[in-house]
Amino acid sequence: MFYLITLLIYGAVDVIACLGLSQQFGVAGVTNFGFIIFQAAGAYVAASLALPSDTANGGYQIYIGGLHLPFPMPLIGAALAGALLALPFTFLVGRRLRGDFAAIGLLVTAVLLNLLVTDYRPLFNGDAGVAQVPAPLQSGIFILSSTTYRWVFVAAVIVLAAGVYMFLRRITESPYGRTLRAMRDNDKVADSLGKNLVSLRTGVLVLGGAIAGLSGGVLVSFISVWSPAAWSYAETIVLFAAVIIGGAGNHRGAILGAILVPVGFEEVTRLITNSNPSLPPNLLPSLQWVAIGLLIVLFLWFRPQGVLPERKRLIAVPAPAAGPASEPPAGPAASGHDGQSLLTRGEVARARKGAPGAAGGDDILQAVGLSRDFGGVQAVSDVTFTVRRATLTGLIGPNGAGKSTLLALLAGTDRPSAGTILYNGQDITALPAFRRARMGLVRTFQLASEFKRLTVMENLLSAAPGNRGDSFRGAVAGRRYWRGDEAAAIARATDILRRFGLDKLANDYAGDLSGGQRRLVEIMRALMAEPDVLLLDEPMAGVHPELARRIGDTLVGLCREGLTILMVEHELAIMDEFCDPVIVMAQGSLLAQGTMAQLRERTEVVEAYLVG
Amino acid sequence: MSLFLASVGFGLITSAVLAIASVGFTLQFAVTDVLNLAFAAVMTAGAFVAYWVNQAGVSVWIGLAAAMVACSVLSVLLNLAVYAPFQRRGTSPITLVIVSLGMALIIEFGIQAVVGGVNVSYSMGQGRTFRAGGLVLTTVQIVIIAISVAVMAAVHVLLRYSRLGKAMRATAANRTLARNCGIRASRVITITWAITGGLCGLAGAVFAIDIGSFGPTSDDLFLILILAAVFLGGPGDAYGAMIGALVIGLGTEVSAAYIQPDYKYVIAFVALLAMLALRPTGLLGARARG
């Protein structure tokens, strides 16, 4: 009986931990190889808060704290400890550091913290660890038989695990959760759409840390001992195996994984050991680790989505607003024909548009002496130009002319070595990409950059600014709080999808679309961000000429409505037809600027473009 | 003073072993794009191959060569059977790191399942002991340092003056471009696994000689030192890794003489995190890898 109770408690604790890890790794794409140290911190703090001071406790173990606090305090402390421990690591998961390097940093931290706590006895009794941690409420209010008490404990922990599941589901299924998944699929693009990666990842680390800490607190309350052996870095790998096998990104998968891997393995090992006492003592634990390694590798190869894959979030596309359904789709060329603009502004954009018109005058975007060198190679050197409001400005030049680099500098994806960028007359050179996006300066990318595991509809929705549910607090507040904003965003996205003729694909995964369709998704998504200036990097590359023309017509229509576009393009025919003025770059420098007709007159331009 | 010199002696040996491993690890990462966390597990395999050869009554120095060959083959197989298929499928770098962690478990605990959990040591003499001031080194230790210096020189010659080295640097800088320039990238990658695997086996056996008594999990912590040295020098930068190994090796051992030896790894830890936070491209900065 006691055995079953222990099993249930371990299972529930593993479920809680795996849920926290699933939120970090599966939903937000933050690979925390140090996950176990957050559980350990929770366990130690809970122990330290629950135990009486070490001198009053027989003196055979030493530890800091020993506050002897009553029931809920140790667990609250455990969750807080996990959350606070996450803060120093936020620098690792910031914008600059590759995800795998950050993961290595966390792994190293986990190994060395374990070593330190093992060797430094005054903190938590070193290698031996703390023991005799009082169970919550065992003496005092409830006078129950020990078996009844344990069953109540089991029930409480299962309820707690269910609560964690409900809470995480609430967060994951909100606009905030969608933003986390977008960041997981492509963080650079999320940044360019106005998502603050540092704050998002900090939130993810803190929440996951709190959940891990809580799981540690619960565990130590039951088993009453905690030592470094319980939280070697390898335990993190077991949890990762559980989440990968169960299905990263699906919280039910995390629960399944927790039951299959950590619990299942312990049990199988115990059964075999009990039935064959003659086996060498090290053999089974070794084979257990080999099996976990095999499971990880084989699952990542044969079923990377896990047993229970992340499920698709279907969003019903509202029926066409008014108008007879028989009317044929207008097609993008007729943008704005039914009196509704693609640029219909949300409140955010309107607030944003309040002043700036006057501030920058007609020159909405200016580059002054802009340079960028990569270790001696001048990709962009001393470029000065102006983009006028409501124009469709083209940017051409031979391969390697620095067009994409220039676009990256303007959007904030990359930082200039020298020079200034003015937007509406304001110096934005030092602002990160997500701030520029929030000010209405939005870019697209040359390479495919859709959020692969989001549907087309979700791709568009992820870019909608000002959704009340697109923050941790908004997500916690629940669906009722953000339903209105979400419905408005869905309506706007539907409108854009119809105009580009992609509404039939709204609930397809963006990663499953054709190359041309993905380009469309990207343009539509950028429009969802309610830009004032749109920076497009070869939007028509790889797109059928017919479709390219329709895109061009749409863009021209948008410019008439007041949008400003700067577009990199190779196809001179497109430049001829849609762009005015056109800027020519070669070898990092600005060569000429004017209408295509003017440019054709100038031999150096023709030479640079043909010979370059 | 003699305490200081003695700790410098230890530091030099640790640096020598660490440099072989770190250069192998960093070159592997630069050319193949795999952040191979199974590196230490392969080292362990090398140490045991040398042990078995040594048990058969052969000198451990021959065992070194056997370890190099075995780990070279093991690394090539590891790439062909596991990493390359994942990479062809377009697996993300972070997933590949998780795969390598899985392979680390399989190799390390596979060895443990075979040899059991008991530590072993090579049967070998330590040779004469040399003293210079407080600096005390045995013949074996001097040989280890000499091997390491020779390996560093060989890596330098390989990278700077050979066609293969140039092809490796080109592949590291841009695999697609290298392929378009007529470099057979997949062959260069396989050769790189063979070379770095050889370095890995050498490091494993030499590390086992250095620590005297070793077991299947002895290299776990050494992986942390390798990572620290590699990140200190800038991931993918062989010369950076050499400097990183020297800094980490001397830093841990010299600090061990003055603070409690238990905390000597703190230096490596702080160095690694500081580098990740401040200069993710390493001490030498973001220059061309190689």
Is A83's pLDDT higher than 80? yes
pLDDT of residue A142: 54
Distance from CA of A375 to the nearest CA of B (A): 7
Q: At what angle do helices B185-211 and B163-173 cross, to 10 degrees?
A: 100
- Min mean pLDDT across A189-203, A256-270, A327-341, A522-536 is at A327-341
Residue A340 to residue A531: CA distance in whole angstroms: 17
pLDDT of residue A329: 43
Mutate to test the interface with A, among B276, B287, B289 (most CBs of A within 10 A): B276
The set of long-range contacts for A473-479, using a CB threshold of 8 Å and a minimum separation of 24, is: A474/A174, A474/A175, A474/A176, A475/A170, A475/A171, A475/A174, A475/A175, A475/A176, A475/A177, A476/A170, A476/A171, A478/A170, A479/A170, A479/A174
Q: Does B16 touch chain A (CB under 8 A)?
A: no
Distance from CA of A511 to the nearest CA of B (A): 13
Quote ipTM for the complex: 0.91
Instruction: Please give the average per-residue pLDDT across A368-386, as a whole number.
Output: 87
Mutate to test the interface with A, among B34, B87, B88, B101 (most CBs of A within 10 A): B101
Q: Does A218 touch chain B (CB under 8 A)?
A: no
Contacts of B99 in chain A (CB under 8 A): 296-297, 300
Q: How does pLDDT run across B163-208, given as a tens digit for each residue?
A: 999 999 888 888 888 888 888 888 999 999 999 999 999 999 999 9
pLDDT higher at B278 or A421: A421
Instruction: Please give the average per-residue pLDDT across A249-257, as a whole number.
Output: 94
Distance from CA of B79 to the nearest CA of A (A): 13
The partner residue sitting opposite B103, judged by closest CB among A109, A116, A297, is A297
Q: Does B106 touch chain A (CB under 8 A)?
A: yes
Is A349's pLDDT higher than 80? no
The nearest alpha carbon in chain B to A96 belongs to: B280
Q: Does B108 touch chain A (CB under 8 A)?
A: yes
pLDDT of residue B290: 33
Q: How does pLDDT run across A138-197, given as a tens digit for each residue?
A: 665 555 567 788 888 999 999 999 999 999 999 999 999 999 999 999 989 999 999 999
The partner residue sitting opposite B82, judged by closest CB among A97, A234, A297, is A297
Q: Does B230 touch chain A (CB under 8 A)?
A: no
DSSP structure string for A166-198:
HHHHHHHTSHHHHHHHHHHH-HHHHHHTT--HH
Contacts of A99 in chain B (CB under 8 A): 93-94
Distance from CA of A116 to the nearest CA of B (A): 7
Q: Does B117 touch chain A (CB under 8 A)?
A: yes
Determine whether the interchain pair A282/B113 forms a contact, defined as Cβ–Cβ distance below 8 Å.
Answer: yes
Contacts of B109 in chain A (CB under 8 A): 286-290, 293
Q: A93-109: b or e for each residue (b if 16 or more CB lie within 10 Å)?
A: beeebebbbbbbbbbbb
Q: How does pLDDT run across B120-156, given as a tens digit for each residue?
A: 999 888 788 888 777 888 999 999 999 999 999 999 9
pLDDT class of A282 with cuts at 50, 70, 90: confident
pLDDT class of A609 with cuts at 50, 70, 90: low
Quick check: helix, strand or coil at residue A418? Answer: strand
Distance from CA of B106 to the nearest CA of A (A): 4
Residues 51-110 of A with CB under 8 A from B: 91-92, 96-105, 107-109
Residue A401 to residue A419: CA distance in whole angstroms: 18
Tell me the pLDDT of chain A averaged across its residues. 86
* Bond from prior residue into A324 cis (ω within 30 degrees of 0): no
Determine whether the interchain pair A289/B276 forms a contact, defined as Cβ–Cβ distance below 8 Å.
Answer: no
Q: How does pLDDT run across A432-465, given as a tens digit for each residue?
A: 999 999 999 999 998 878 999 999 999 999 999 9
pLDDT of residue B287: 42
Q: How does pLDDT run across A208-220, given as a tens digit for each residue?
A: 999 999 999 999 9
Instruction: Please give the average per-residue pLDDT across A60-85, as a whole number.
Output: 89
Contacts of B277 in chain A (CB under 8 A): 91-92
CATH for B2-278, among 1.10.3470, 2.60.40, 3.55.50, 1.10.3430? 1.10.3470
| Domain ranges (residues) in chain B | 2-278
Contacts of A111 in chain B (CB under 8 A): 220-221, 224
Determine whether the interchain pair A115/B221 forms a contact, defined as Cβ–Cβ distance below 8 Å.
Answer: yes
Determine whether the interchain pair A244/B220 forms a contact, defined as Cβ–Cβ distance below 8 Å.
Answer: no
Q: How does pLDDT run across A477-526, given as a tens digit for each residue?
A: 999 999 999 999 999 999 999 988 888 999 999 999 988 889 889 999 99
Contacts of A105 in chain B (CB under 8 A): 272-273, 276
Where chain B has pLDDT below 70, the residues are: 1, 281-290
Instruction: Please give the average per-residue pLDDT across A330-338, as a whole number.
Output: 42
Closest C-alpha to A517, from A506, A533, A528, A529:
A506
Distance from CA of A300 to the nearest CA of B (A): 8
Q: How does pLDDT run across A1-38, given as a tens digit for each residue?
A: 778 888 899 999 999 999 999 999 999 999 999 999 99
pLDDT of residue B96: 95
* Residues in CB range of A550: below 8 A, 6 or more apart: A331, A332, A333
pLDDT of residue A571: 78
pLDDT of residue A596: 80
